[in-house]
């Protein structure tokens, strides 16, 4: 079995060395170059082969990590595999894992080189292939240089390694077939030397899909057990209530209405037999008594015939309506019963979800029969009478929830196909429909990660619409410690894009809810929290859930404690560097930080050796002309608690031709990027156009300050209008004062003043104003045009003061030199506001 390596799934790594420090080992610099390598995994199966040494069929493979360590002559290697949340549960040294996890929170110098490791099918040879910044393989000469450097690297020059840490990026799309991967590899080898690799676009899409953690997920408030089997009577005296759980919930008028699943089991007991209930053709509940010896009874919910493998439920379920006032009387009143009514429901109806759409309540529920678990649809206006619409998702498909409104003219649903497959565990899919009855455009949305949702995941309550996106609570099931047992069920949360719900904006890295209370940990199926309903009330959420497949629980908490505060990283210039972008970044980050729930950190770009004496909010510094520095910044941001990056883009402040180095950072980021474009060139040269085109592709949103810039993005760079936000450039909020008060300070008394401020560069239209001054003077002879600001550093570095001298010469040739005043210096905020006050 070959473990293929893909650019978009290449993780990062670092080496941890022994240190004589009181707190034990700490994170050293990322080690790049020929003495180390990176593993790439295409999916969970490949990862498991690496971790365990066997594949899904138990076929053995060599322990690749150990063999690689021996090949690299790194003594004392211990392998610790990490995911986005911390160490994977392995048999490796716990103290080392904890030290690595602590180091992950505040990494030192990140990776300085990128490689791809290919392992042959016989696992006896490896080839380290260097990758350039665009994801393309280096040419043969560069590869030969790397091999020569590797050969010259003596073992004693390599740090004594305590742990090799592999960070793995998980992706929701299913693993492609082996043949498709081989075809892709052949196509890549056939690529002509001048043709760009496809990895850049793929990595961009994966970055936008990266599931950044939702923080503050462990807060729990007012946990309550609403009711259990002792509170509900059975429909038939021959049965007893086993559990009351997994409710749908909605507010109807001034009432809270629940539609709960009631599971019943035969009250009789026959030694040596198991009673398997079902509904017959007449709608009556009957029991098939089956010898225990014929059944596999490992799972308390289902049994399996040893002879033919067929599955039967040990209970049979129907749905009941419960009501109580939203305020006041806490007693629940029992309403109508929703019973199985067709052969497709002969084993019961289960797990309803309720969504209000256009004043009607739509109910998705699981219809269980000998054909499997299908999802059916019903609707009601009053929860007294119901209209059934039949099966909308055939077996095996469960956990279907509807979005409360159409998106792009179509209804949208989340669902969980559960057909048996060795390719992946059950995943959440997204589907669309024109009428709620016929569904298509199916595509995978969420895969289970590891640990608490490794076995399966499924949608919980219907999504609710927030300003930040669609909030979806889902359940995840971990792998049981016992063979054939049921793992722990927890709840997670994810935020999807409002306009395109296939895009995952944020995702919980730890459970929102997990079994803690006794009634959640003890019951028919222990250790289960299974959310199925959500009611939003002002700034709080009530989540209704099934507890241990026995009772109904509810937990209420502030919405803010679920989503947590927003952590924004600003990338650009920053004071004390004297630059207009630095001032803008400072003002913007200060305004964002004023919201109590927001946290801001700054990653500035240094244009001088040693950088500047920055304030504490600066957490990482980029060296302008060092491309590896941009990659290290991406690593820092990826492993920080950053929700979004605000990039302040101006040509000249980033390194490389046309500022190309910033693309190295953007390609590696795994969080959304909002780019503020301070300059949008309508006629860029070839280099600047290429940089801008990639910049807009790698940005989640683009902010411009003028309508003209928005039009340029649309017409020149073919950017979709919905990706662009127009936010005009602000000015300091100062009390109004008579402009003459400020004009006196600058010898402008009695003048009509026009002002352009900021770094002087050819893209601000200053020539246009100067050429218009003769015409202006005919109607306003006292007009003065003030040009305030130092020459742009990049312009000064390349052309000196040529541009400024040209403007002065133009004013002189037009005879308006006395009406144009240049201030060739950077001004602080206080003086700038005085100039603005003097302007008419």
Mean pLDDT of 82-98: 32
d(CA 235, CA 837): 80
Per-residue pLDDT at 563: 66
Entry pTM: 0.50
pLDDT tens for each residue of 602-653: 999 998 888 899 998 898 899 999 998 998 888 888 766 677 899 999 988 9
d(CA 568, CA 570): 6
What is the per-residue burial (b if ≥16 Cβ within 10 Å, else e) of 677-715?
bbbbbeebeeebeebbebbbebbbebbbbeeebbebbee
pLDDT tens for each residue of 655-673: 999 999 999 999 988 889 9
CATH 3.40.50.2000 fits 739-838, yes or no: yes
Question: Are 7 and 116 in contact, with CB atoms under 8 Å apart?
Answer: yes
Per-residue pLDDT at 651: 84
CATH number for the segment(s) 224-563: 2.115.10.20
Mean pLDDT of 798-802: 86
pLDDT at 16 over 70: no
Question: Are 220 and 557 in contact, with CB atoms under 8 Å apart?
Answer: yes
Per-residue pLDDT at 777: 94
Mean pLDDT of 218-243: 83
Query: Matching CATH topology for 566-726 and 739-838?
Result: yes
Banded model confidence at residue 221, pLDDT cuts 50, 70, 90: low
d(CA 197, CA 317): 55
pLDDT at 206 over 50: no
Neighbours of 320 (CB within 10 A): 19
Per-residue pLDDT at 44: 43
Class of domain 566-726: alpha beta
- Annotated domain spans of the chain: 7-187, 224-563, 566-726, 739-838
Per-residue pLDDT at 283: 81
pLDDT at 181 over 90: no
Flag the least confident range among 75-89, 486-500, 596-610, 778-792.
Answer: 75-89
Banded model confidence at residue 298, pLDDT cuts 50, 70, 90: low
Average pLDDT, the chain: 74
Banded model confidence at residue 486, pLDDT cuts 50, 70, 90: confident
Banded model confidence at residue 512, pLDDT cuts 50, 70, 90: confident
pLDDT tens for each residue of 773-782: 999 999 999 9
Per-residue pLDDT at 366: 96
Per-residue pLDDT at 565: 58
Q: Coil, helix or strand for 349?
A: strand
pLDDT at 170 over 60: no
Per-residue pLDDT at 293: 81
Per-residue pLDDT at 163: 28
Mean pLDDT of 466-472: 87
Flag the least confident range among 134-138, 379-383, 744-748, 820-824.
Answer: 134-138
Mean pLDDT of 434-445: 95
d(CA 480, CA 486): 5
Per-residue pLDDT at 559: 75
pLDDT tens for each residue of 529-559: 999 999 987 778 899 999 999 999 999 877 7
CA atoms 621, 622, 628, 631: torsion sign: positive
- Say what percent of the chain tops pLDDT 70: 69
CA distances for 515 relative to 214, 225, 261, 263, angstroms: 19, 13, 20, 21
Per-residue pLDDT at 484: 60
Question: Are 748 and 838 in contact, with CB atoms under 8 Å apart?
Answer: yes
CA distances for 60 relative to 2, 67, 125, 177, angstroms: 13, 14, 17, 21
- Of all residues in the chain, what percent are helix, strand and coil, respectively (each to 5)? 25, 35, 40
pLDDT at 50 over 50: no
Give backbone dihedrals phi and psi of 10, rounded to 5 degrees, phi first.
-70, 125
**When comparing pLDDT for 551 and 128, which is higher?**
551
């Amino acid at each position: 079995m070959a473990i293929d390596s893909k650019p978009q799934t290449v993780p990062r790594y670092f080496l941890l060395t022994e240190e004589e420090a009181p707190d034990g080992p700490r994170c050293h610099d990322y080690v790049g170059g020929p003495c180390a390598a990176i593993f790439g995994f295409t999916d969970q199966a490949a990862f498991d082969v690496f971790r365990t040494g066997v594949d899904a069929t138990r076929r053995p493979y060599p322990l690749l990590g150990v063999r690689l360590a021996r090949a690299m002559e790194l003594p004392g290697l211990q392998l610790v595999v990490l995911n986005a949340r911390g160490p994977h549960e392995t048999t490796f040294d716990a103290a080392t894992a904890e030290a690595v996890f602590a180091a992950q929170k505040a990494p030192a110098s990140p990776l300085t080189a990128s490689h791809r490791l290919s392992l042959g099918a016989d696992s006896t040879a490896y080839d380290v292939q260097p990758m350039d910044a665009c994801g393309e393989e280096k040419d043969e000469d560069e590869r030969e240089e790397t091999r020569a450097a590797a050969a010259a690297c003596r073992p004693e020059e390599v740090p004594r390694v305590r742990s090799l840490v592999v960070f793995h990026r998980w992706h929701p799309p299913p693993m492609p077939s082996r043949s498709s991967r081989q075809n892709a590899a052949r196509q890549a080898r056939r690529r002509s030397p001048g043709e760009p690799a496809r990895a850049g676009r793929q990595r961009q899409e994966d970055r936008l899909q990266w599931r950044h953690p939702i923080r503050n997920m462990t807060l729990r408030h007012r946990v309550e057990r609403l009711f259990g089997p002792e509170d509900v009577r059975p429909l038939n005296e021959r049965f007893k209530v086993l559990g009351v759980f997994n409710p749908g919930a909605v507010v109807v008028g001034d009432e809270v209405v629940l539609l709960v699943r009631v599971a019943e089991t035969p009250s009789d007991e026959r030694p040596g037999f198991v009673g398997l209930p079902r509904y017959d053709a007449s709608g009556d509940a009957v029991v098939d008594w089956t010898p225990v010896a014929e059944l596999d009874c490992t799972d308390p919910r289902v049994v399996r015939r040893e002879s033919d493998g067929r599955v039967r439920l040990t209970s049979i379920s129907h749905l009941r309506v419960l009501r109580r006032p939203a305020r006041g009387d806490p007693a629940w009143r029992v309403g109508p019963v929703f019973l199985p009514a067709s052969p497709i429901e002969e084993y019961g109806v289960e797990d309803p979800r309720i969504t209000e759409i256009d004043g009607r309540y739509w109910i998705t529920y699981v219809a269980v029969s000998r054909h499997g678990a299908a999802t059916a649809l019903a609707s009601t206006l009053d929860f007294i009478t119901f209209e059934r619409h039949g099966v909308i998702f055939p077996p095996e498909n469960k956990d279907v929830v509807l979005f409360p409104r159409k998106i792009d003219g179509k209804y949208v649903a989340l669902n969980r196909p559960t057909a048996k497959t060795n390719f992946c565990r059950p995943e959440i899919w997204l589907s669309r429909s024109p009428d709620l009855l016929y569904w298509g455009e199916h595509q995978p949305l969420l895969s289970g990660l590891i640990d608490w949702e490794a076995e399966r995941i499924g949608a919980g309550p219907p999504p609710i619409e927030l300003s930040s996106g669609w909030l979806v609570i889902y359940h995840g099931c971990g792998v049981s410690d016992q063979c054939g047992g049921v793992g722990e069920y927890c709840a997670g949360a994810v935020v999807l894009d409002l306009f395109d719900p296939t895009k995952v904006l944020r995702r919980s890295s730890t459970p929102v809810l997990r079994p803690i209370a006794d009634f959640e940990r003890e019951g028919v199926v222990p250790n289960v929290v299974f959310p199925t309903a959500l009611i939003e009330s002002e700034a709080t959420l009530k989540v209704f859930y099934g507890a241990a497949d026995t009772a109904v629980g509810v937990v209420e908490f502030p919405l803010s404690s679920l989503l947590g505060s927003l952590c924004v990283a600003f990338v650009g210039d920053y004071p004390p560097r004297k630059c207009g972008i630095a001032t803008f970044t400072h003002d913007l980050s200060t305004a964002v930080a004023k919201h109590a729930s927001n946290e801001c950190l700054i990653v500035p770009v240094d244009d001088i050796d040693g950088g500047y004496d920055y304030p504490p909010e600066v957490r990482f510094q980029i060296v302008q002309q060092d491309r590896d520095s941009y990659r290290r910044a991406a690593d820092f941001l990826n492993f920080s608690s950053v929700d979004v990056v605000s990039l302040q883009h101006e040509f000249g402040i980033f390194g490389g031709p046309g500022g190309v180095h910033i693309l190295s950072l953007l390609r590696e980021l795994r969080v959304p990027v909002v780019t503020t474009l301070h300059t949008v060139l309508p006629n860029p040269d070839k280099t600047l156009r290429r940089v801008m085109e990639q910049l807009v592709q790698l940005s989640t949103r683009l902010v411009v300050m003028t309508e003209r810039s928005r039009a340029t993005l649309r017409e020149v760079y073919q950017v979709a209008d919905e990706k662009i936000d127009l936010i005009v450039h602000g000015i300091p909020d100062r009390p109004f004062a008579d402009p003459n008060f400020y004009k006196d300070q600058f010898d402008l008394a009695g003048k009509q003043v026009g002002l352009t401020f900021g770094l002087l560069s050819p893209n601000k239209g200053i020539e246009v104003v100067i050429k218009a001054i003769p015409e202006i003077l005919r109607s306003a002879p006292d007009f003065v045009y003030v040009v305030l600001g130092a020459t742009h550093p990049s312009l000064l570095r390349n052309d000196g003061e040529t541009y400024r001298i040209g403007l002065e010469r133009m004013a002189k040739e037009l005879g308006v030199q006395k009406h144009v005043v240049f201030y060739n210096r950077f001004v602080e905020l206080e003086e700038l506001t005085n100039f603005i006050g003097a302007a008419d």
